[in-house]
Every structure is written in structure tokens, then in C-alpha cells.
Structure 1
Amino acid sequence: MKKAQRFLITDVLFDVLTRIPVKALLGLKCISREWHRIISSRSFIRAQLENNKLVLTGFILQEKFMWCNEDIKTVSYIPVGTTTTIGDSKMQHQRVFHFLPEDVVVLASCKGLVCCRSCFPSEEPTIYVCNPSNKQWIKLDWNGCEKNESIALAFDLDSSFDNFTKFKLVRVKQIVICEDEYEEMYLEFELYSSETGAWWKSNETCQCGNNLIKNKGIYIGGVLHWLTDGDQVLTFDVDKELSWLISVPVPAFEFETVPEACIGESEGKLHYVLISDVGLHVWCLEDYYESKWTLKHYKSLEEIQGKYPNFFFNLKNRVLERVDVELSPWMNPLSFKDGILLMKVCADLFLYDIENNKIAQTCTLQDLNTKSMSCPTVLPHSLSLVPLTHA
């Protein structure tokens, strides 16, 4: 009778705990060995993900040097509260990946997993795929490495409950061919599968002479997305190994000043965020093949300043001053996820809850021990209990 009662209590505890968000579960694992065993089991992780929607919990931010081969080692984490408490999300942490054997540069984030590489200079450059929530990581060999190349992470939650977690990496390389004063540029794709443990070169190429900039490798519905500096979004279907280019809703030349943009995911769709002297626009991609976008949100700079005069002053005139791409933008959208925009305005970082029209200051550049933050890598991140083990 006592044994049956114990099993009943365990079943009830299992059911209750699966309804609790990951952030709270990480603390509850320390209550007892029994709780730790339950929360760490694959059956529990599967049930917890079924009962709780994976939501944005923060942004990973790291600066980079463009003029030398050394990397900035500091990685910061800016937490995001709920839609009613984004103003409480001012704490930023700078020991995000201390559990890894070396300092790293972040490359991509997908459903709780993060892909990063060794900081340069490095004698044996390595790629790591890790889960900061449970501090598990996998080390991968990386041959022919380059400092500024783009490596994206493709991972689906339903692939994490077999004998091991399955994921793919996609490496984008820009190829330049010069023939008789004629220069041709195109992109090649290399893939890595955790199932085979090997890299291979795809037969797919993409005629694109533009550079990949912010928000590299956003994974949505089996497709990776990269923003380019040529008013296009590069896409790559990971399973079919097919790529194509999508035109952005409004090209940059239609504005008097140089606009700033970023891409992100919300409600399972690609979104495009643009800040210009006209205001802040958020579009949602409705059709890939026709490049059909729907405007989801718009606020003029005067409206933003009028509602938050304590944060912003002379906003439109400041934005109008940027008439050259070499000038640092006064307002810069850094990353967008689940309706939350992280943006830089002058020397401060703000979280903008688009749906609820709420803006909260989260930190300053001084808090991050930096002065300019001209070209940071910013990745949205969601806490998850996804286990990370070798095949």
C-alpha cells in the first residue's frame, strides 16, 4: 500500500511540475534528489514542453571588432520579463558561458540551444553547441575556419527525445570569381548533421553579391533566414537544400536618410523591423515566393517620443542627421522575437513590447562596459530543458 501511495505521489508531482516554466524548474531541481531525477528525465522534458509554450526569456549580446582578428570575449545576457513586467528586466549578466572550457563567440540561437565558436586567435578553433540552462555541451571539429563567416543552427524540438538530440548547422561562404575585369559573387552552403557527425558541401548556390548582416540564421519552419545589406533576405530550406532571396517590404533608397532594420520571428512567421525618419515599422511575411508582406505595426517617432518623453528627446531630428551609412545610427533595432524588440537609442538599450505598446529601458552601454556597440551580435534566447547528448 505504501509503495502504491509513493508512486501516486510521484505521478502527481510529475504532473504538477510539468506545468511550471523552465526558469522556476531550474531552482526546483535543487530541492531533492528525487525532484532532480524527475525534472532531468526525458519523459518529463517532453511533457513540460507540451504543457508550456517556448517563450522568449532574454537576449544574448556580444560585440565584435571589425578591424582586427581578435574577438571580444565578454558575452552579456539581457533578461526579458512577461508582457506586463518588461520594465523589471534591467539586470544583465556577463558569465553566460562560463561552463564551457574556453571563451567563445556566439553564432546562433535556436529553441534554447546556442551555437558558438572559440575566440580568435585560437590554435585549435572549435564549434560548441550548448544549452546554457542545463550547462550541457557538444564539441565539434571546425576546419578551414574564418572569423566573419556565418554558421546557423537548425533545431526542431521534436528531434530531442530519441536517443540523442538532432540538429544541423549551415555554414554560408561568399565566393568571388574574377575574370577579365568582371567580378561575380555567389554563396555556397556547407551543412553539418549531428546524426552523421560530418560536414558536406551542398550542391545549392545562390547568386548574391550582398553581405550578410544582422540576425544571421533565424530558423522558422525548416527554413533559415539571413538579413543582407542589399534590401533582401536570404533563405535556405535545410532539408531540401534550396535557397532563394526575398525582397524586403520597402527598399532603403525610398528614404531621405539611411534606415536601420532587423529581422526576427513571432507567431511562427518572419518579421521585418525598420526604423527611419518616417517612424518604426514592423512587417510580417505572408508569402515567401511573392515576397508578400503585411504591415503589423507602425509608430511615428513623434508618437514614441510623446509617450515616453523621459526616455527620448529630439528623436526625429537625431534620426534625420544620419544621411551617410558610415555614421552610427541614433536608433538601431538589434533583435526581434515574440513581439519584443531590443533596440539601441543613443547610448541606451530598450525593450519595446510591440503588441502592448510598452517601452522599458534595460541598460546602458556603460553597464555593458562598452562605448559604441557599432556592430554587435544579438541573439534571442529561450530557456529550455532540452538535453544535449552525443549520438
Structure 2
Amino acid sequence: MFETGSKPIRKRSDAWYEVESAEDILADILSRVPIKSLLAFKSVSKQWRRLIQSSTFIKLQLRWSLEKPNYLIYPYMDGLVNLYKMKGKGEIIEKISLFGCEDIYSLSLLCSCNGLLCFINYPFVPDSNRELVYLIDFDIRICNPATREVYLLPKGSPSEKKISIGVAFGPKPWEYKVFRFFHPKYDSDDIKCEIYSSITGSWRGIGDVQYCPIGILYCPLGSNHVYVNGKIYWFLPEEGDIITPGSILSVDIEENFKVISLPDEVTAHAFLVDLEGFLSLVAVYDDDQVVDVWILHDSNESNWEKKCSDYVPFSCVDSINFVAARKTEIFFITSDQYLIYNLDDGTWTELDFEDDFESNLPVVLPYTESLLPCNGILGSEREHNN
């Protein structure tokens, strides 16, 4: 410390000055800090703000975050969009209120990747009697709960029946495409597909879906999907049975479609998950109350390997609301329980939360914090596109 006149001034640490001068060292330190702190650190100096907003730093932060994924629980309560970040065996780290969505009802969480979430909701509109009714189409939002950013996608083509969507990320971590299946005419079973690109900011039609015979029964089973290593996967219904999965539809970021066969004896209580970077199938059987876990090591082949088979500690399979996976564990949500199954030792753990998750359709997804923008355009790319 030294003095100028009567006012003491603290001399800046030479060691810290050297750290700030070497931005790669500073970036490595800051990239391991929680997002909430990083957002506050942007006001420390112009240098820190520029560094934290740079594409190089955002990619570095994501790399560290991906090594320690948490869970994100969404209890689905109308008019109250609260997300709960959880780690370990039921430890709630943080309760997150998603700003900008407080008055949006029936908001459903579909997927999570690189810190970005996709929500949909069916908006209300007045009918001829001035009563509010649901639209058959829905709004699509990409959200970043860490930065509290929400981005509403533009409307797609009109659809006369309920639609299905899926979100793929790449080739850069912040870029994404939304695949939207819809029915353009009420008296037709034709299925069309159009794609929203975060790079162009608009929808582009690709015409009829040619992956299988055209018909309403071949539309993906809703919008619940899983994204694994550059590909989106949906269940396709079994012919003549709109509830039970009959096969899997996949599409990659280059828009190549493929149909994958399922293992035998798959029931309606089946879920697709990402298990250690592989597409996996979790199937619960009614009669035996047994869960089978299958892994597809090569997405170009329909050769499934049964990873394990075990009894489930719940009695009513109809109560299964959601299934997700993180590393070597599988998270089950039933109407009465939150359970984690460890594939390494075959053990079940029931979670006991202090928060009361009374809900209709709860969702849990693996989650990693990031600074990625919801519109899918980063830094100089935004300036170039504008």
C-alpha cells in the first residue's frame, strides 16, 4: 500500500496482474466457476466481460460443465415454472424460476442439451363463443435456465392435427435444428416435415416424410425424444397400435432419416435414454414387474445388447411418468416415488425431497450449466448474420 496525499491506495497484486495478463490462465480459472458468479463477474472489468462473452471461453466452460452433469427436475405446475437442479442422491442445489414464463400455462419440458432446454405449450385462443380453447399446434421455446434467457421460435406452417418435434444440436455446440412433423390438411394423412435452423432463424420445408409408408399411424409418438451423439430418436408406433412402440425413427444434423428396429417384446412402458453416449432402451414389463435395459452400440445397425435385467421396486407400471439417464444410473419417476437405479451394482435408491413435487407430469433430465445463447448464434456470427 502507498499514499498519494492523505489517501492510501492499495497497490495491485503483481501475481494477480500476471494472471490477468495471461488470459488463457484466467479463462481456465473462471471456466470452473458457477454461471451465477460468472454473470456477476462480467461487471468486474471490460477485460473480464469481453473474456466471459467470447466463444472460446463459452466452449471452455461447457467442456468443464459436461464432466459433472447434474439433474434438472421440472414438476410441471401450471403458472409456476420452477426448475430444481439436483446432484447426488436427491440433494437439491438450486431452485430456478424461469423468467419470462410466469404466466404461460401447460409448459412442457421436452429435452436438455448443453445447458439449453426446449419447452412447448399449447396456447389458448377464444372460439366463436368467446370461450378459451387449446390450439392443436404449440409454441416452441429454447431456454437457458442458468442465464435466464428465453427465446420463442417463429411459427411454423399451419397444421390441422397435433404435431411432433425434435431438437438436434450441431455442428457447433450452440447451433441447433428443430424438426417439426405436421399435417397440412385435415382430410389427409400426409405427414410433412420442416426444419428450423438457428443459423437462418427461419423454417424450411423438406416435403413428404419418406422414411416409411405415409399415414397418420407413422407419425412419431408425440414430441418426447432423445438426442444422442448428433442424432434425434423418436418412437414410431406399432402398426395398428398407436400406444406401443414398433420401431425408432432417427435423423441426424444433416437431415438423413433412418428407421431402427426394436428388441422383441417391447411394451408401451418403454423409454429412450442416452446412456454413456449410446442410444439405450428402458422397458418395464407389466406381468413380471421387471425392467430391461438395452444398448445400441452402433446406430447404423439394429443390433441391441441387453445391458441388464432387474426387478422394479414399484408395483404399478402404469404409474411411470418419466425415465432419464446420467452416466451409469437411470432415474425413474412414478406417481409416488423418485428412484435411481445404479447399473454398476444393481441397487435402487429412493429419493426423499424436502420440496413437495406435487405435479401432473413431472420430468427429469440430465443437465449441465452453460452460457450458450438461446437463439443459437454466438459472438461474431450474430454480427455477420445481421
* TM-score (structure 2 length as normaliser): 0.71
Q: Distance in 2 between matches of 1:169 and 1:350?
A: 31
Q: Partners in 2 of 1:175 and 1:388 — Cα distance?
A: 28
Q: Which residue of 2 aligns with 1:198?
A: 202
Distance change (3 Å), C-alpha of 1:285 and 1:214? farther
Alignment of 1:61-76 (within 5 A): 61=74, 63=76, 72-76=78-82
Q: Give the deviation of 1:152 after TM superposition.
A: 1.7
In 2, the alpha carbon distance for the partners of 1:290 and 1:32 equals: 48
Query: Residue 352 of structure 1 corresponds to which residue in structure 2?
Result: 341
Q: Tell me if 1:130 matches 2:137.
A: no
Does residue 113 (structure 1) correspond to residue 119 (structure 2)? The answer is no
How far is 1:198 from its partner? 1.7
- Please tell me whether residue 153 in structure 1 is matched to residue 167 in structure 2: yes
Counterpart-to-counterpart distance in 2, 1:361 and 1:76: 22
Distance 1:249-1:367 versus aligned 2 partners, 3 A rule: same
User: What is the aligned counterpart of 1:387 among 373, 377, 384?
Assistant: 373
Distance 1:89 1:232, change over 3 A: farther
When residues 90 and 356 of structure 1 are mapped into structure 2, their CA distance, relative to the original with a 3 A threshold, is farther
Instruction: Provide the rounded CA distance (Å) in 2 between the counterparts of 1:147 and 1:342.
Output: 32
Distance 1:154 1:259, change over 3 A: closer
Say whether 1:285 aligns with 2:285. Answer: no
The amino acid of 2:298's aligned partner reads D
Note the 1:18-97 alignment, pairs <5 A: 18=31, 20=32, 24-27=34-37, 29-30=39-40, 33-34=43-44, 37=49, 38-61=51-74, 63=76, 72-81=78-87, 86-89=88-91, 93=95, 96-97=97-98
Amino acid corresponding to residue 344 of structure 1 in structure 2: I
Residue 171 (structure 1) shift: 0.7
Q: Distance in 1 between matches of 2:344 and 2:83?
A: 23
Q: Deviation digits for residues 218-243 of structure 1, max 9, x if unmatched?
A: 2223221012433311112231x232
Aligned to 2:249: 234
Q: 1:149 to 1:261 in 2, by over 3 A?
A: same
The superposition leaves residues 266-304 of structure 1 with CA deviations (integer Å, 9 ceiling, x where unpaired) of: 222101011122522111112334311111222234xxx
CA RMSD of aligned residues (A): 3.8
| CA deviation map 1:196-220 (0-9, x unaligned) | 2221111443326246447723222
Contact kept? 2:276, 2:326, Cα under 8 Å: no
Identity across matched positions, percent: 22
Cα distance, 1:219–1:353 mapped onto 2, change above 3 Å: same
What is the alpha-carbon distance in structure 2 between the residues aligned to residue 378 and residue 200 of structure 1?
A: 31
Find the aligned partners of 1:295 and 1:215 in 2 and give their Cα distance.
Answer: 26
Q: Does 1:222 align with 2:230?
A: yes
**3-state SS of the aligned residue for 1:287?**
coil
- Three-state SS of the structure 1 residue aligned to 2:258 is strand
Residue 376 of structure 1: how far off its partner (Å): 5.4
Distance 1:192 1:87 in 2: 37
2:248 matched to 1:244?
A: no
Distance 2:125 2:94 in 1: 28
Deviation by residue 1:106-143 (Cα, 9 ceiling, x = unmatched): 33322211222455215896432221111223332114
Asked if 1 retains the 8 angstrom alpha-carbon contact of 2:180 and 2:193, the reply is yes
Normalising to structure 1: TM-score of the pair? 0.71
**In structure 2, what is the equivalent of residue 255 of structure 1?**
none
Instruction: Give the match's secondary structure for 2:57.
Output: helix
2:149 is the alignment partner of 1:168: no
Look up the SS of the partner of 2:250 in the other structure: strand
Measured at CA, do residues 186 and 368 of structure 1 come closer, stay the same or move farther in structure 2, by a change above 3 Å? farther
Q: Which structure would you say has the larger Rg?
A: 2
Quick one: which amino acid aligns to residue 116 of structure 1?
A: F
Change (3 A) 1:236 1:131: same
